C-alpha cells in the first residue's frame, strides 16, 4: 500500500506557505493587541512581590549554602523555616484562603479572562478558516511512517481510507505551525510574548496557587539540605593554584 | 551621551527631547554634571509632553534632590510612593537622600525596610554592607557579605570583602575563616590578586601569634602562607621592582613574629 502520491507543487505555493505566513502575522497582531489591552493598573501586590523575593533568596541560600560557614547557614535556615514566624512557613488554613481569593478577586479574574480570550479567539477563527478553505485534499506528506491510529486526527478532510497515513490534511499543518512557531516568535518578538500558547495551556491545566506551593516546596528542600562547608577545600585549591603559579 | 548633551546647542537638544529621544538619560546626565539649569529645562519639556507620567515625576523629584531641597524632594517621593508602593527606584532614592544628608542611621533604616520586601536585590545588600563597614558595625556587615556570597558565589570581590571583615573582627575562629576566604579569593582569581595574597600571609601570622605556646598540630596549611609569600615576591619583581626590598622586610617581620 505504499503508493507514492505525487503532490502538486501548487499545494505548496498556495496552501502551506500562505498558512504559515498568515499564522505568523496573526501572532504578531496578537502580540501588539495584548500589549495595548494590558490593563494599566499593574500595581503589584506587595505580598506577592515579597513572596517572590523570599523564594529567590531561599533558592540562593540552597544553591550556595556550602560557601558560607555552618553557623550562618543554620541561622538562616531557622529564619526561613521556623514554625512560628519563619518566612517560608505557610499554615494550611491560609493556603486554601489564597486560592479562593484568587478566584474572587475581580481584577485577577478579568485579567485571566482577557488573556484567555486573546488566545482562544484567534485560534478558533484561524482553525475555522483553515477548515473552510483548505479541507478535502492532501496537503503534505510526513517523512516518517505512522500507525493507523493517527488517521482520524491527521487526515480529517480526506475520506479515503486507503491513503497512507503519512499523507495529511492541512489541518495538521495548522497544528504543526501552532506549536512550532513559538520558537520563531521568541526570535522576532523577544522573550515575553503573548503567543506562548502552549505554556499558557500548561499553566491553565495546573491551576494551583503558585506562591504557596513553591514556598512549601522551598521549605522542604531547605529542611532536607545537608550543609557541607566547601571552604577547607578551597585552601587546598589555592595552594595548588599558587604552586602552579610560582613554579 | 552626557558629554554630547553638554556641547550641542540648547535649542537642538530641546527639539530632540520634544521628539522623545533619550528622555531619561539627558536630565540625569545634566544633574550628574551639576548643570542644573539645563536639567530644569529638560524636565520642563518632559512635563509638558507627559503630564501624568510616573517617570517624569521621578525626574522632578530627582531635580529637587540635586538642588538640595531635601524636604520638597522627600514630599515628592512620598507622594509618588503613595501611588505606587512598590517602586524600588523610589525607595533607593530615599536611601540615597538620607545618605547624602549625612543621616546614616536613617539610611540604614530605610534600606532595611526596603530589603524586607526586596530581599533578593544584591545591590542593596552591597550598599548596606558598605554602610555598616563605614560605621564599624562589622558583625552586621559580615551578615550582608554572606548574603552577597550566597547570591553570587563566584565573584571574588565578595569573598575578599568578607575575609577583610572577618579579619578585622578578630578572634581565632574568625581569623581561620578569614584565611579560608582569602584562599578562596586566590582560587577564584587564579592567584593573581595581591590583596588576597597579603591577606593570607597576615592572617596566618595573626593566627600563629594567637596560638603561640599552644600545640600547633595543623601545620598542613603553613604551605599556603609560604606559597603566597613567594607568589607576592614574584609579582612585585615583575610589577614594582623597586619595592621588592620593602616587601621582603615586611614578610620577614610577619614570619618573625610567629
Decide if A242 and B231 are in contact by the 8 Å CB cutoff.
yes
Determine the residue of chain A that is closest to B119 in CA distance: A53
| Residue A210 confidence class, pLDDT cut points 50, 70, 90 | low
Within 8 A by CB and 6+ apart from A113, the residues are: none
Nine-digit cell at A65? 549554602
Distance CA B72, CA B54 (A): 17
Residue B12 pLDDT: 64
Residue B30 has pLDDT above 90, yes or no: no
Measured between beta carbons, the chain B residues lying within 8 angstroms of A51 are none
Distance CA B216, CA B218 (A): 6
Measured between beta carbons, the chain A residues lying within 8 angstroms of B54 are none
Give chain A's largest Cα–Cα span.
80
What percentage of chain B exceeds 90 in pLDDT? 10
Measured between beta carbons, the chain A residues lying within 8 angstroms of B191 are 238, 241-242, 244-245
Distance CA A126, CA B147 (A): 51
| Residue B129 confidence class, pLDDT cut points 50, 70, 90 | very high
What percentage of chain B exceeds 70 in pLDDT? 86
Measured between beta carbons, the chain A residues lying within 8 angstroms of B151 are 57, 60, 64
What is the full DSSP assignment across B177-218?
A: HHHHHHHHHHHHTTT--HHHHHHHHHHHHHHHHHTTTS----
Distance CA A29, CA A87 (A): 43
Distance CA B119, CA B99 (A): 20
Residue B165 has pLDDT above 90, yes or no: yes
Nine-digit cell at B153? 558565589
Measured between beta carbons, the chain B residues lying within 8 angstroms of A243 are 227
Strand pairing partners for A141?
A167
Chain B interface, best mutation among A41, A64, A68, A232, by max B CB count within 10 A: A68
Decide if A69 and B143 are in contact by the 8 Å CB cutoff.
no
| Residue A211 confidence class, pLDDT cut points 50, 70, 90 | low
Cβ-nearest to B149 among A64, A232, A235: A64
Distance CA B90, CA B75 (A): 12
Distance CA A241, CA B1 (A): 43
Quote the ipTM score. Answer: 0.74
Residue A207 has pLDDT above 60, yes or no: no
Residue B245 pLDDT: 85
State whether residue B228 is helix, strand or coil.
helix
Give CB contacts under 8 A, 24+ apart, made by B5-9. Answer: B5/B29, B5/B30, B5/B38, B6/B30, B6/B33, B6/B35, B6/B38
Å from A106 to nearest chain B CA? Answer: 20
Instruction: Name the residue ranges covered by the structural domains of chain B.
Output: 154-258
The mean predicted confidence, pLDDT, of chain B is: 81
Cβ-nearest to A56 among B117, B120, B186: B120
Residue B8 pLDDT: 59
Distance CA B59, CA B72 (A): 13
Residue A204 pLDDT: 47
What is the full DSSP assignment across A119-154?
A: HHHHHHHHHHHHHHHS-SS--EE-SS---GGGHHHH
A14-35 pLDDT tens trace: 888 888 898 888 888 888 877 7
Decide if A243 and B234 are in contact by the 8 Å CB cutoff.
no
Residue A103 pLDDT: 55
Decide if B86 and A235 are in contact by the 8 Å CB cutoff.
no
State whether residue A167 is helix, strand or coil.
strand
**Is the whole model's pTM more than 0.90, yes or no?**
no
Comparing CA positions, the residue from B147, B153, B157 lying closest to residue B121 is: B147
Amino acid at each position: 500500500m505504499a503508493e507514492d502520491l505525487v503532490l502538486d507543487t501548487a499545494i505548496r505555493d498556495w496552501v502551506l506557505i500562505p498558512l504559515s505566513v498568515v499564522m505568523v502575522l496573526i501572532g504578531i497582531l496578537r502580540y501588539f493587541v495584548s500589549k495595548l489591552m494590558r490593563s494599566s493598573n499593574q500595581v503589584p501586590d506587595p505580598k506577592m512581590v515579597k513572596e517572590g523575593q523570599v523564594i529567590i533568596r531561599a533558592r540562593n541560600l540552597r544553591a550556595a549554602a556550602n560557601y558560607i560557614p555552618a553557623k550562618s547557614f543554620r541561622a538562616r535556615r531557622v529564619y526561613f523555616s521556623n514554625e512560628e514566624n519563619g518566612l517560608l512557613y505557610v499554615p494550611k488554613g491560609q493556603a486554601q484562603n489564597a486560592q479562593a481569593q484568587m478566584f474572587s478577586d475581580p481584577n485577577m479574574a478579568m485579567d485571566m479572562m482577557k488573556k484567555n480570550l486573546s488566545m482562544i479567539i484567534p485560534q478558533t477563527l484561524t482553525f475555522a478558516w483553515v477548515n473552510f478553505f483548505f479541507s478535502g485534499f492532501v496537503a503534505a506528506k510526513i517523512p516518517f511512517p505512522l500507525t493507523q491510529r493517527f488517521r482520524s486526527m491527521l487526515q480529517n478532510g480526506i475520506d479515503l481510507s486507503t491513503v497512507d497515513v503519512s499523507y495529511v490534511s492541512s489541518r495538521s499543518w495548522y497544528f504543526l505551525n501552532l506549536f512550532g512557531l513559538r520558537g520563531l516568535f521568541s526570535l522576532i518578538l523577544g522573550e515575553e510574548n503573548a503567543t506562548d500558547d502552549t505554556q499558557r495551556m500548561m499553566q491553565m491545566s495546573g491551576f494551583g496557587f503558585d506562591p504557596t506551593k513553591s514556598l512549601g516546596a522551598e521549605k522542604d528542600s531547605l529542611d532536607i539540605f545537608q550543609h557541607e562547608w566547601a571552604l577547607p577545600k578551597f585552601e587546598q585549591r589555592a595552594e595548588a593554584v599558587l604552586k602552579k603559579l610560582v613554579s | 551621551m552626557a558629554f554630547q548633551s553638554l556641547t550641542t546647542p540648547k535649542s537642538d537638544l530641546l527639539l530632540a527631547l520634544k521628539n522623545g529621544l533619550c528622555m531619561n538619560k539627558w536630565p540625569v546626565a545634566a544633574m550628574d554634571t551639576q548643570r542644573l539649569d539645563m536639567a530644569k529645562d529638560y524636565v520642563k519639556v518632559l512635563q509638558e509632553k507627559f503630564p501624568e507620567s510616573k517617570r517624569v515625576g521621578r525626574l522632578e523629584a530627582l531635580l529637587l534632590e540635586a538642588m538640595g531641597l531635601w524636604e520638597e524632594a522627600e514630599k515628592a517621593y512620598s507622594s509618588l510612593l503613595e501611588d505606587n508602593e512598590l517602586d524600588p527606584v523610589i525607595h533607593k532614592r530615599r536611601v540615597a537622600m538620607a545618605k547624602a544628608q549625612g543621616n546614616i542611621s536613617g539610611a540604614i533604616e530605610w534600606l532595611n525596610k526596603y530589603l524586607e520586601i526586596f530581599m533578593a536585590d544584591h545591590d542593596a545588600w552591597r550598599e548596606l554592607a558598605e554602610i555598616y563597614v563605614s560605621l564599624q558595625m562589622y558583625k552586621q556587615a559580615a551578615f550582608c557579605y554572606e548574603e552577597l556570597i550566597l547570591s553570587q558565589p563566584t565573584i571574588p570581590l565578595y569573598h575578599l570583602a568578607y575575609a577583610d571583615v572577618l579579619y578585622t573582627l578578630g578572634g581565632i575562629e574568625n581569623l581561620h575563616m578569614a584565611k579560608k576566604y582569602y584562599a578562596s579569593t586566590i582560587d577564584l582569581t587564579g592567584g593573581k590578586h595581591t590583596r588576597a595574597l597579603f591577606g593570607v600571609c597576615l592572617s596566618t601570622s595573626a593566627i600563629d601569634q594567637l596560638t603561640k605556646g599552644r600545640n600547633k598540630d595543623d601545620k598542613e596549611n603553613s604551605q599556603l602562607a609560604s606559597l603566597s609569600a613567594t607568589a607576592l615576591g614574584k609579582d612585585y619583581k615583575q610589577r614594582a621592582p623597586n619595592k621588592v626590598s620593602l616587601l621582603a622586610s615586611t614578610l620577614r617581620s610577619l614570619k618573625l613574629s610567629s
